Chains A and B, each alone.
Chain A
């Protein structure tokens, strides 16, 4: 079957760094997306990885290891507005995104 494994909830301090891990199993693989979803809102795109390695985009970076079925999202210089759910979504052989429940990130002052 296809599944996503992410921590349900994480807590971090404003200004700090946090890493959200994701392991996945899919039927085929066409890249992996990270989305941010604030409570009551639709998801917004953060990053896309299709090759192994680290992709950096401002305060956010995303890493992928295809052989391990593993990705992480790294958030630096955390701000209160970063409090949200972070969704790891790999794309399978049919180009369908597979969604988990995401990781709720709580930022404390």
Chain B
């Protein structure tokens, strides 16, 4: 079945530093990937849609200069949290659709838990 892998699963960084999270589709090509953020006991919040070879589409209220998204290949999208602050501490999850399937279900990466000290 479709597999999406995310790395790192956990990261701790100092305030002001930048952190990069990678999302890979392992057995299919994904022209589009989705980046979510989830706070404890809250719903998934779509941050942005990553488009291979073009600019990402950001949701309202998400700072594109702070959350840099790059989708340079059909199997890799990266999210860089720049100048991280403690309020950026959250669970970040990527997802993608397998174009071989009709249903449109999202396959999620394992998630990356970011803690900013």
Q: Looking at chain A, what size class is its interface with the partner chain?
A: 20 to 34
B residues less than 8 Å from A44 (CB atoms): 108
Decide if B108 touches A43 in the complex (CB within 8 Å): yes
Decide if B108 touches A99 in the complex (CB within 8 Å): no
Closest Cβ of chain A: how far from B79's Cβ, in Å?
Answer: 14
The docked-state distance in angstroms from the alpha carbon of A36 to that of B93 is 14
A residues less than 8 Å from B46 (CB atoms): 96, 99
A residues less than 8 Å from B111 (CB atoms): 40-42
Majority DSSP secondary structure for residues of A touching B: loop
Decide if B41 touches A45 in the complex (CB within 8 Å): no
Decide if A99 touches B105 in the complex (CB within 8 Å): no
Q: Looking at the complex, which one of A31, A42, A99, A100 makes contact with B109 (CB distance below 8 Å)?
A: A42
The docked-state distance in angstroms from the alpha carbon of A100 to that of B45 is 9
Q: Looking at chain B, what size class is its interface with the partner chain?
A: 10 to 19
Decide if A101 touches B106 in the complex (CB within 8 Å): no
The docked-state distance in angstroms from the alpha carbon of A33 to that of B113 is 25
Q: Looking at the complex, which one of A42, A96, A101 makes contact with B41 (CB distance below 8 Å)?
A: A101
Closest Cβ of chain B: how far from A103's Cβ, in Å?
Answer: 12
Residue B52 lies at the interface, judged by CB distance under 8 Å to chain A:
no
Q: In chain A, residues 17-50, which have Cβ atoms closer than 8 Å to a Cβ of chain B? A: 30-31, 33, 40-45, 48, 50
* A8 to B, closest residue via Cβ: B41
Give me the interface of B with A, judged by CB distance under 8 Å: 6, 41-46, 91, 93, 103-111, 113
